[in-house]
Structure 1
Amino acid sequence: MTSPYTVAAVPMRWVGPLRVSGNVVTTETHVPLATYESPLWPSVGRGAKISMLAEHGIVATLVDERMTRSVLVEARDAQTAYTAAWSIEARIDELRDVVRARSRFTELIGVRHEIVANLLFVRFEFATGDAAGHNMATLASDALLGHLLETIPGISYGSISANYCTDKKATAINGILGRGKNVVTELLVPRAVVADVLHTTAARIAELNIRKNLLGTLLAGGIRSANAHFANMLLGFYLATGQDAANIVEGSQGVTMAEDRHGDLYFSCTLPNLIVGTVGNGKELEFVEDNLARLGCRVEREVGENARRLAVIAAATVLCGELSLLAAQTNPGELMRTHVQLERHNNKVKVGD
């Protein structure tokens, strides 16, 4: 049967290998990046090279995971909304049974709420196995909303999606509570490697991180973010692995830390909103299947383990590109000179080469 769509040709290359360890996986792997920004490949490659030279590579710690969907109900008045909110909190076990009746792989793990006037915003949080979980969360929330409307007096339907989730928007709530996988990556780079590979010092990177990522973002009014370009690596990785690319909006939230430790560089990227999955829509494409298999995410494991593996590899990829860019920006002219050289060269390379 002929496919109803074609696949857009975005140039993709594998870079690395990078070394990653931590509470999810210990591995060395190349990573795929699909992007039109061709200097991203060697930049991430430089960070990957450094990960291979550091004793433990990039240590990636998965600290939380949850997919969210918020619903809106209208109450007679604020007091009714308040009573309904605490009724929902008290019936969490009952609500978990409602979710289990709809899906083998979706689990309700938390409920939060906000009241504005007579409106009640309810944010459901789910575990969704190896799926990113957008549709699973919506299906479960639809069932929960119907159950609440039938069993709690004084409330009526508002919307199945209330923007308190928050999906594909940069918001404080996602930065605080997380949406998707929350991963912290850390790398300790020896002084000699900083000098020989990055052509800079730990002190200069740490100073630039404070002035650019922290103060610059503060002045710009950034929301729960202090990083240089998380979105670049995430988009390339998401496109190569069949993810919903629009989730780089909340995915780009996160914090970069850099410290001079007696000449060695401690470098860390915290990403609270990594939304990735290894099953679901987009994963049936042949190139995506091949990429996930090469990343080791097509192996039979406990439910959720392949998605966790993919998330920490994505987070490690982000650190590689973030470190390389910040190092380049400590040296006058390096960033633009490199972009001009690499983009002129890659303009001669055809898609598929």
Structure 2
Amino acid sequence: MTGDHTPVPTRWVGPLRITGTVETLQEVPLATFESPLWPSVGRGARLSRLVDDGIRVTIVDERMTRSTLFVADDAATAVAAARAITARTDQLAEIVAAGSRHARLIDIDTEVVGNLLFVRFALTTGDASGHNMVTLAAESLMERVLAWHPELRYGSISGNYCSDKKATAVNGILGRGRRAVAEILVPEALVAEQLRSSADRIVELNTRKNLVGSVVAGALRSANAHYANMLLAFYLATGQDAANIVEGSQGISYAERRGAGDLYFSCTLPHLIVGTVGNGKDQPVVEAALQRLGCRDEREPGENARRLAALIAATVLCGELSLLAAQTNPGELMRSHLLLERTGATGTGATGEGEATR
């Protein structure tokens, strides 16, 4: 860094007990100026250690995309080219594999608007988030397509159908980044003891606030309270491209009452764009964090990034459930903020063992 700068305060919270795609008991780093976030996530982390199976995380899919834009004279020409391009997916996949050790083409989607042809390439990118990897691959693919189809002209290397760092529907539908689902089953007694609430109250609030409230607000494939808080804090601590919280925070919280009063709670994050190698990961503080998270171990390509995505999804669930529980009790949210911000969230609360809530 050059010039004056203010470091972002960072605390390690937890540990979180995680099962599923990753089996671990792991503390996580959160870099934030919003100090109540630490004990809030800490409360969820403590809960994860008290329930059977902890927080179960499933990584459903992983891919990075880049959409190229071609220009034709008319729609008929664009449609014919789109069909020809998708029919040669195997040949295009060979081009990608020949130019990269890790990038692999797995899917092609096309859209025609007037005389414009959008071609969305989806690739796996190993442990990298893959922004530059897919752009480099797209350049080679675009060059080959233009050689095959002289009736097309170059429009742009990125046509926004990707869609990168924008709140869109396409990423949730077709996938971009790691698609993760984090879920927990909390017995009735622990809901009362640890969350000071009940399954019925949390389910009702989630429906009224996250689901109905988000529809009223016009949210786009998103129904949650504050995924962005946990994502940004985790992204900054681990050298991620922080602008990706724009699409990363488009997720859905879901809750059900089970049995006599147990709480099933889940957070679905359709597009977590994260990596353990690449730009930003060479900073000493980032390297140290990734090592402590177990994301620098010798594993098959992609497994470290998969582990990181699972840790992030579980962290999001911890903070989301804690906040919703607090909001079921009138006045609790503001009291907690005032208490924690005046005391600086220091002591045991900052590491997740205090009783304060977000």
| TM-score, structure 2 normalization | 0.95
- Equivalence map 1:236-251=2 (5 Å): 236-251=233-248
Residues of 1 paired with 2:33 and 2:78: CA distance? 49
Residues of 1 paired with 2:295 and 2:36: CA distance? 27
Structure 2 contact 64–123 (Cα < 8 Å) conserved = yes
- Give the counterpart of 1:166 among 163, 169, 174: 163
Q: Which amino acid aligns with 1:321?
A: G
- Give the counterpart of 2:303 among 282, 302, 305: 305
- Give the counterpart of 2:290 among 284, 289, 292: 292
Residues of 1 paired with 2:327 and 2:345: CA distance? 24
- Give the counterpart of 2:143 among 142, 146, 155: 146
Structure 2 contact 36–345 (Cα < 8 Å) conserved = no
Residues of 1 paired with 2:247 and 2:207: CA distance? 22
Matched residue, 2:196: 199
Structure 2 contact 38–345 (Cα < 8 Å) conserved = no
Aligned residue pair count: 346
Structure 2 contact 69–159 (Cα < 8 Å) conserved = yes
Q: Which amino acid aligns with 2:336?
A: T
Matched residue, 2:54: 57
Matched residue, 1:275: 273
Q: Residues 8 and 114 of structure 1: is their aligned pair in 2 closer, same or farther, counting only changes over 3 Å? A: farther
Structure 2 unmatched ranges of 5 or more: 348-358
Runs of 4+ in 1 over 3 A off after TM superposition: 3-8
- Equivalence map 1:79-98=2 (5 Å): 79-98=76-95
- Give the counterpart of 1:99 among 91, 96, 101: 96
Q: Residues 217 and 93 of structure 1: is their aligned pair in 2 closer, same or farther, counting only changes over 3 Å? A: same
Residues of 2 paired with 1:267 and 1:321: CA distance? 12
- Give the counterpart of 1:341 among 339, 342, 353: 339
Secondary structure, counterpart of 1:277 in structure 2? coil
Residues of 1 paired with 2:121 and 2:4: CA distance? 35
- Give the counterpart of 1:70 among 57, 67, 72: 67
Q: Which amino acid aligns with 1:296?
A: G
Structure with larger RCO (C-alpha < 8 A, sep 6+): 2
- Percent identity over the alignment is 65
- Equivalence map 1:184-263=2 (5 Å): 184-261=181-258, 262-263=260-261
C-alpha deviation, 1:7, in angstroms:
7.0
Matched residue, 2:353: none
Residues of 1 paired with 2:14 and 2:196: CA distance? 19
Q: Which amino acid aligns with 1:244?
A: D
Residues of 2 paired with 1:167 and 1:122: CA distance? 14
Secondary structure, counterpart of 2:105 in structure 1? strand
Residues of 2 paired with 1:76 and 1:144: CA distance? 21
Residues of 1 paired with 2:99 and 2:135: CA distance? 11
Matched residue, 2:177: 180
Please give the per-residue CA displacement for 1:19-55, whole angstroms capped at 9, x wherever unaligned.
0010x21000000000011000000000000000110
Please give the per-residue CA displacement for 1:80-120, whole angstroms capped at 9, x wherever unaligned.
10010001110001101111121110000000011000000
| TM-score, structure 1 normalization | 0.96
Q: Residues 184 and 6 of structure 1: is their aligned pair in 2 closer, same or farther, counting only changes over 3 Å? A: farther
Residues of 2 paired with 1:348 and 1:51: CA distance? 22
Residues of 2 paired with 1:4 and 1:44: CA distance? 33
Residues of 1 paired with 2:317 and 2:136: CA distance? 34
Structure 1 unmatched ranges of 5 or more: none
Secondary structure, counterpart of 1:154 in structure 2? coil
Residues of 2 paired with 1:160 and 1:298: CA distance? 32
Secondary structure, counterpart of 1:299 in structure 2? coil
Farther off after superposition, 305-314 or 149-158: 149-158
Matched residue, 1:120: 117
CA RMSD of aligned residues (A): 1.4
Secondary structure, counterpart of 2:69 in structure 1? strand
C-alpha deviation, 1:152, in angstroms:
1.3
Q: Which amino acid aligns with 1:310?
A: L
Matched residue, 1:326: 324
